[in-house]
Structure 1
Amino acid sequence: MKTTPEHNARIAKMTFASVYPHYISKVEKKGRTQEELQEVIQWLTGFDKNKIQELIIEKASFETFFQRAALNPNAHLIHGVICGYRIEAIENPLTKHVRYLDKLVDELAKGRKMEKILRSK
């Protein structure tokens, strides 16, 4: 399934603050913690707990969020399908980065071991 320019623009404008509570809810319903969620976000983006909070208060768009992120060099190891899209087939870099985050949150909620989520060797 290919992303459309409209889909990519919608994702770019979406705020991290609007999605973060859904991430928390999703992982906590499955017995995981907000601290584990923050660990996953930090692994992908380099943002610590304080920086995540700043971006939430600022209502940073995903475009701004990922412009400021230092994407983990192993992020390319994140594969699979999320929201109907095969991550490795997504051409738009921003949309791919957002789907990386979605996939990591999904894996956390599904109970996958943290070392697997963080692509540890």
Structure 2
Amino acid sequence: MDKKPRIFTTSFGSVYPLYLQKAAKKGRIKEEVDEIITWLTGYTGDQLQRVIDDKVDFEAFFAQAPRMNPNVGLITGVVCGVRVEDVADPLMQKIRYLDKLIDELARGKKMASILRQ
């Protein structure tokens, strides 16, 4: 039986500050990071804070997401040397989508572009 990738059982709340850090280094703010996460997952700000406080892991974070954005298919490109659109595991792909969006924020892309508007 294949062992789950460690990220699946890592708490979302433990990685969230890293997203904030990455964005802040480029002058972006927490509200923008939160907007990306809520756009992708359908969580509200309060729900997002709850999953962080409750130390929900990535597997549960995405399993419990109110609604994955119907435009996730528009998220393409490379994260950590992997094309997000080619990731076979559905959960890993969702994690990579989030990574990609945070990368775009840190690279200075406009929010409308990041949110595929």
TM-score band by shorter chain is over 0.9
> Which runs of no fewer than 5 residues in structure 1 stay unpaired?
none
> Which letter does structure 2 place at the counterpart of 1:92?
D
Residue 111 of structure 2 is aligned to residue 114 of structure 1 = yes
Residue 70 of structure 2 is aligned to residue 36 of structure 1 = no
> How big is the shift at 1:11?
2.0
Residue 69 of structure 2 is aligned to residue 72 of structure 1 = yes
Higher relative contact order (CA 8 A, sep 6+): 1
> How big is the shift at 1:13?
0.7
TM-score by length of 1: 0.91
The aligned length equals 115
Within 5 Å, which residues of 2 pair with 1:79-94?
A: 79-94=76-91
| 1:60 aligned residue | 56
> Which letter does structure 2 place at the counterpart of 1:113?
K
Q: What is the identity percentage for the equivalent residue pairs of Structure 1 and Structure 2? A: 50
Computed over aligned residues only, the root mean square deviation of the Cα atoms, in angstroms, reads 1.0
| 1:16 aligned residue | 12
The ranges of structure 1 where at least 4 consecutive aligned residues each deviate by more than 2 angstroms after the TM superposition are: none
TM-score by length of 2: 0.94
